[in-house]
Amino acid sequence: MRWGKDGNALLAAMLAGFALLCCASVACIFPNSLMSNDAPRDAYRAFNMAFGISTSVMSLCYGLAVARFRRVASKVFFVGAMGGYGMLACGLALAFAAGCEGEIELAGAAGMLSGIGLAPAMVFWFGMLTFLQEHRAAFVQGWQALMGGVLFASLFLLTADAGWAIILVCVLVSWLCAAVVRRMEKACDTHSFHEGSREHDGASEDALDALQVSVLPVAGFAVVSFLQGALMAIAMAPEGSPWGGIASSWGAPVGACAFLLWTRFGRRRNYTVALQVVLCLIAIALVLVPFDALILFMGAGYQVCGLVFYSLVIDELSSRRALAVVFISVGYSFSHVAFLAGLYVPGTFGVRSYDAFHQSMPLMVFLAYVVFAALLIVTQRSRKRELREMERVLFHQREEQEQLRRALADALEEKHVETCRAIGCRHGLTKRETEVLGLLARGRDVAFICEELYLARNTVKGYSKRIYAKLGVHSKQEVIDLVEAERHMRS
């Protein structure tokens, strides 16, 4: 993408549109910011369940549609996102109505519309990051998460009653930014989604390689999403922590700051190591950190893992945009499924309040087991991947050494033949005598020469005597010495 005045304007529009939609995305995870405070708790649960399921299903459908309709992938990508914005706006308006009337069915419908609309809109923005250079993509990704998280956290503190209206405005402005970005991107970039042609013949191999690279971050993202859902269920319960919602809403900006620092000062972006560090810190926090601080830390870890996963896919598949959209859709879907599953874990263990969290040994052991199991899997797969890389490097080195050895042997053989020809020309040897000379100079015996040149034993002995006579030597060793001296002299 060419950068200049138009490129900077495009970057600003992407940053603004993505950040505003990120704010709306966080709001959908906190349905109390969209509905009246008088709404029943069952309405919140209905919204969360419908939102989680519809987001996961729609995200997969959107990614598969982009991959399936390869010839018109760019149009499907943009039209699907624009339609998603419309569905999301309808879902937010319906959520407000459901909160006012307290109807659970209406809240479920609002969650379904919001999820169906948010999934393609969010994947659209992540897909647009593949049009940027690597450092610019990481810049936009980190700052949109920071700006969107700070905006929502501020709204959550200051204007909770009118939150749905402000979120709706954010969605509309983000929609305008998406339209502007799409128009400007067509003017700045000519590659798009390579409509009408396959990106290259090894697309299936690229997909397999990308899957092997992405499996660890997406697994870590899903595990952390599961833990985030479990702790959110405790924090936002009627007997939950009074500071749980605030701590969770400010955890996302903290995680975005950590990601920006990592991308800015990290000498080498090792995604597996970053995931291992986050999981280790979460395991420690589960045991040692008070609940409200744990919620803040969990929100930060959830944000970091998500950004690490999307950053990895964008870095690895920036030149394969349709494939990148598929992987982003899959990761986005898995994270919402895991978050939704986590919401029901505390109730399964009978933990209804944050006071009972640290007193519930079964729940603590279960969550710790999940973290350490994920950490173990990540570590093992990382080691296996490193071993495979080492084996691949050794294999390539052996191939290069073998090629070098063959090239050197061919060069020596060619030089040996040229030396024997020069001696033969100087001493009047025939073509067959020159061939026999070459084998004698290599120390071959009569039996080998007979088999190599398909000659009788007496014939070879006759050739050898004539060669000795013409060269003025009396043994095979003198022939070898003569050829060696000639080769050194010619070199």
- Scan for tokens 């744990």, then name that residue: 294
Whether 460 is covered by a domain: the verdict is: yes
pLDDT at residue 453 in the model = 87
Residue-range definition of the domain harbouring residue 14: 1-192
Same domain, yes or no: 236 and 123? no
In a domain, 420, yes or no: no
pLDDT at position 201: 42
Q: DSSP 3-state assignment of 239? A: strand
Of all residues in the chain, what percent are helix, strand and coil, respectively (each to 5)? 85, 0, 15
Last residue of a domain, one of 161, 192, 223: 192
- Does 16 share its domain with 126? yes
Give yes or no: residues 3 and 141 share one domain: yes
Point out the domain boundary residue: 383, 418, 451: 383
Distance CA 51, CA 45 (A): 10
User: Under a CB-based contact definition with an 8 Å cutoff, are residues 65 and 91 in contact?
Assistant: no
Pair (326, 223) in one structural domain: yes
Residue that terminates a domain, selected from 162, 192, 222: 192
Q: Are residues 208 and 169 in the same domain?
A: no
In our burial notation (b when 16+ CB lie closer than 10 A, e otherwise), range 382-397 reads beeeeeeeeeeeeeee
- Within 8 A by CB and 6+ apart from 293, the residues are 247, 285
Q: What is the Cα–Cα distance from 396 to 401, expressed in whole angstroms?
A: 9
In a domain, 262, yes or no: yes
The pair of three-digit structure tokens given for residue 433, joined into one six-digit string? 């005598």
Question: What confidence tens digit (pLDDT) does each residue in 147-190 have?
Answer: 999 988 887 776 556 677 888 899 999 999 998 888 876 665 54
The answer to which of 134-138, 222-226, 428-432 has the lowest mean pLDDT is 134-138
Q: Does 266 share its domain with 369?
A: yes
Query: Domain with 134 in it: what CATH number?
Result: 1.20.1250.20
Q: For residue 58, what pLDDT is reported?
A: 95
DSSP secondary-structure letter at 388?
Answer: H
Q: Determine, yes or no, domain membership for 254.
A: yes
pLDDT digit string (tens) for 46-101?
998 999 999 999 999 999 898 888 777 888 888 999 999 999 999 998 988 887 77
| The pLDDT value given to residue 292 | 84
Fill in the amino acid letter for 123.
V
pLDDT in tens, 255-282: 999 999 988 887 677 777 888 888 888 8
Q: Does 188 lie in the same domain as 210?
A: no
Tell me, yes or no, whether 113 and 145 share the same domain: yes
Whether 422 is in a domain gets the answer no
Cα–Cα distance for residue pair 95/102, rounded to 1 Å: 10
Confirm whether 406 is domain-assigned: no
Burial class for 238, CB neighbours closer than 10 Å (0-12, 13-18, 19+): exposed
Q: Which amino acid is at 131?
A: F
Q: CA-to-CA distance for 438 and 216, rounded, in angstroms?
A: 60
Judged against a pLDDT cut of 60, whether residue 197 lies above it is answered with no
Q: Which two tokens stand for residue 77?
A: 């990508």
> Rounded to an integer, what is the distance from CA 270 to the centroid of its chain?
11
- Are residues 330 and 182 part of one domain? no
What local confidence, expressed as pLDDT, does residue 238 receive?
73
Reading the block at residue 4, the tokens are: 């200049």
User: Are both 188 and 336 inside the same structural domain?
Assistant: no
Question: What CATH code is carried by the domain that includes residue 463?
Answer: 1.10.10.10
CATH number of the domain bearing residue 375: 1.20.1250
Q: Which two tokens stand for residue 149?
A: 């998280």
Mean pLDDT calculated for residue range 341-362: 79
User: Can you list the pairs that 35-38 forms with residues at least 24 positions away whose Cβ atoms lie under 8 Å?
Assistant: 35/95, 35/96, 35/98, 35/99, 35/100, 35/107, 35/164, 36/96, 36/99, 36/100, 36/161, 37/160, 37/161, 38/99, 38/102
| Residue 166 pLDDT | 86
C-alpha 148/C-alpha 202 separation (Å) is 38
pLDDT digit string (tens) for 199-234?
444 444 555 555 555 677 777 888 889 988 888 888
**Domain match, 287 and 225 both:** yes
What pLDDT is stored for residue 387 in this prediction? 79
Number of domains forming the structure of the chain:
3
Does a structural domain hold residue 19?
Answer: yes
Residue 31 within a domain: yes
Cα-based distances in Å from 163 to 17, 21, 117, 148: 18, 14, 19, 14
115 with 222, same domain: the answer is no
